[in-house]
Amino acid sequence: MTITVTNAQALAKLREIVSERPDHVYCAPEHMWSEESQLCFYAHTDKDGSAVSAGCGIGELLHRLGVPLEQLREVEGYTAMHVVNRFTHGLSRETVNRLRIFQAEQDQGRTWGESYVRATGEAI
**AA letter at 120:** T
Residue 37's CB is within 10 A of a number of other CB atoms, namely 12
Specify the pLDDT at position 35. 64
Which stretches of the chain drop beneath a pLDDT of 70?
35-38
Rg (CA), the chain: 14
pLDDT of 34 reads 74
Give pLDDT, residue 36.
60
How far is residue 16 from each of residues 5, 38, 72, 85, 102, measured CA to CA in Å?
15, 26, 20, 21, 14
